[in-house]
Amino acid sequence: MTAPSQPDLGPVLPESDEPGTPGLPFHERTLPAPSFGTRISFRTRLTFALIAVAVIPLAVFGLLLVAAERLPDPVSTVPRLLLLFVALVALIAVLGAYLLAADLTGPLRAIAAAVDRVSAGDLSTPISVGGDDELSRLAESHNRLAGALERRNRELGRILAAIEHASPRDGVEFLVGRASEDARAAFGMIEAIILLVDPGTINEEETIPGEARPVRAELRAGDERLGLIVGHLPATRAWEPADQNLLELFAAEIGVAVRNAQLFQRVTAQNAQLLELDAAKDDFLRGVSHNLQTPLTSIRAFAEQLRDERDDRRLSIITEQAERLSRMVRQLLTVTRLESGALRPQAEVLGLAPRVRRAWEALAVSGVTFRIDDRSGGWLAVADADQLDQVLWALLDNAVKYGRREPVTVEIAVDEALGRLNLTIIDHGPGVAERDRARLFDRFARGTGTNAEDGSGLGLYVSRELCRAMNGDLVAEPLRLGSGAVFTVALPGEAPLES
């Protein structure tokens, strides 16, 4: 099963046993020691700052008045002192405002920087704000959220790792056992178990304060309910809707993995059964082919002997039908030998034109014009003679049968670039429909407009496989203008020796 892409929840930080390091879980990290200013709450500091801003100018004014009374000429000096007082108050106000702003906005800047770090995926630094006011509670809430985010990030990483290693080949029992262990590790459960039963038959446990907290999620594959994950958490462990969503995501992926494993097992068993049936079929065909050959040979031989003694059309029909049945039996036998790998061609160097003419003469077809256009130029084919005869006989017989006894032409040409000889058999019948060309070479396939009496549907399949066994090929060419079906046999060739 392909693992889903991981959401961008920040890095999954490794846990560490060293206190005070970023590798520790967020809630276990040691906060930096607060300075004196950060030990006082934000509200207290703000109150002191406002009081100082109000009192300091009055104090300075009072000191100036006391100093003015002791001067020898207070009347002329007081205006100058008041002007000095205004300047000092303005300076103190600017300096105080700067220091007050720096001190009061420091925690806000720290919180804003921490939020930016978390949004960028950095969960390494908690916020330290002293006191017990709104800002300190805001910092604590942020630290709790960052800790929960980091914990869920680790859980999600473990879930994805578990899903990535789930393979249907492992089997249902192995997947269920490993998924139980992964659930315990990912969610920090005391125990976890996967039950492949109807979830409706398992009652939900009641949550009792102070005792282990029960959790559960259904295994699903689409709308099908496959089972249930049930487990228990420590009593102090928080369990929020986001945690339940992660558990349900994990359960859904495990449900899909279990269903895939079940289907894989079923397909594997069906494939094994099909292989057994195919082997039994091959054995049956092989036995039938061998057992039919002997009586067919006897029937044909005695029919031919009786036909020679007396002229009887019925004996000719017996001979023809026995020959037809014998050809079908040979095709079945060839199929079983091809599929078992027992048929191995014996390569010979031979001329194609004489071979084609002998195959045509063996058909003993009367009333059909036959012509060979030999452009081989002395090239010889490298092929198994017996297998080539079987291919030629099948293709020529098809040309006569499906060509409606119209003239048959055989062209022999050389493809020097590939070192091959191409033997093309052309009839002048209706030809092969374009939609039939792709499936003509399938086993038991017939063209449009034919029926079961036209043959076994194995001739072209066997012919092509025989050609390929001889390192050649057999193809059905596209329709040509003024001709019917066109089949080309390609075979390895040898060029003539130069004199």
DSSP-based three-state secondary structure for 213:
strand
- Give buried/exposed letters for 10-45 (b at 16+ CB in 10 A, else e): bebbeeeeeeeeeebebeebeeeeeeeebeebbeeb
314-369 tens-digit pLDDT: 887 887 777 777 777 777 777 777 766 667 788 899 999 999 999 998 888 888 89
- pLDDT-derived band at 104, boundaries 50, 70, 90: low
What letter represents residue 13's amino acid? L
Q: How confident is the model at residue 7 (pLDDT cuts 50, 70, 90)?
A: very low
**Element at 89 (helix H, strand E):** helix 74-119
CA distance 226 to 262: 11
- pLDDT tier for residue 310 given thresholds of 50, 70 and 90: confident
Print burial letters for 225-254: b (CB count within 10 Å at least 16), e (below 16): ebbbbbbbbeeeeeeeeebeebbbbbbbbb
Per-residue tokens: 123: 């969960």
Domain boundaries, the chain: 26-149, 153-262, 271-338, 345-494
Asked whether the beta carbons of 247 and 217 are under 8 A apart, the reply is: yes
**367-385 per-residue burial string, b: 16 or more CB within 10 A, e: under 16:** ebebebebebeebbbbbbe
Pick the CATH number of 153-262 from 1.10.287.70, 3.40.30.10, 3.30.450.40, 3.20.20.60: 3.30.450.40
**114: its two tokens:** 């921490």
CA distances from 459 to 69, 284, 328, 358, 441 (A): 133, 20, 8, 19, 8
Q: How many CB atoms lie within 10 A of CB 497?
A: 6
Strand partners, 214: 232
Show Cβ contacts of residue 121 under 8 Å, excluding neighbours closer than 6 positions.
8, 9, 10, 11
Looking up tokens 């949004």 gives 119
Quote the CA–CA distance of 179 and 185 in Å, as a whole number: 10
> Whose structure tokens read 């066997």?
462
Lowest-confidence segment of 102-116, 258-272, 412-426, 467-481 by average pLDDT? 102-116
Q: Are strands 420-426 and 486-494 parallel, antiparallel or unpaired?
A: antiparallel
CATH 3.40.50.1100 fits 271-338, yes or no: no
What gap in Å lies between CA 467 and CA 384, rounded to an integer? 9
Q: Given the DSSP bridges, would you call strands 370-374 and 408-415 parallel, antiparallel or unpaired? A: parallel
Q: Which amino acid is at 142?
A: H
Beta bridge partners of 383: 348
Residue 24 has what DSSP assignment? S
162-to-110, 138, 159, 186, 252 alpha-carbon distances in Å: 38, 36, 5, 9, 13
CA pair distance 81, 64, nearest whole angstrom: 7
Decide: 210 and 172 in contact? Cβ < 8 Å: no
What secondary structure does DSSP assign to 274-316, as a single string? Answer: HHHHHHHHHHHHHHHHHHHHHHHHHHHHHHHHHHHHS--HHHH
User: Looking at 110-245, which runs of residues are DSSP E strands?
Assistant: 191-195, 213-221, 224-233
* Least confident piece of the model among 22-31, 264-273, 452-461: 22-31
What pLDDT, on a 0 to 100 scale, did the predictor assign at position 308? 80
Least confident of 14-18, 121-125, 277-281, 288-292: 14-18
User: Using CA atoms, how far apart are residues 323 and 306, in angstroms rounded to an integer?
Assistant: 16
The three-class DSSP label of residue 224 is: strand
Widest distance between CA atoms in the chain: 172
CATH number of 345-494: 3.30.565.10
| CA gap 464, 473 in Å, rounded | 6
The whole-number pLDDT of residue 37 equals: 47
Output the pTM of the full model.
Answer: 0.46
Other C-beta atoms lying within 10 Å of the C-beta of residue 70: 7
Name the most confidently modeled range: 49-58, 144-153, 430-439: 430-439
Same-fold call for 153-262 versus 271-338: no
Tokens of 19: 């206190």
Residue 24 confidence (pLDDT) above 60: no
For the chain, the average pLDDT equals 77
Give per-residue pLDDT as tens, 187-245: 888 999 999 989 888 888 888 888 899 999 999 888 889 999 999 999 888 888 888 88
Nearest CA to 368 among 404, 326, 422? 404
What are the structure tokens assigned to 191, written together?
A: 């125990």
Q: Looking at this protein, which amino acid is placed at residue 178?
A: R
Structure tokens at 379: 């090239």
Over 90: is that where the pLDDT of 113 sits? no
Are 294 and 313 spatial neighbours (Cβ–Cβ below 8 Å)? no
Rg (Cα) of the chain, in Å, rounded?
47
Nearest to 154 by CA among 122, 177, 187, 176: 187
The predicted model gives 121-149 an average pLDDT of: 70
The answer on pLDDT for 292 being more than 80 is no
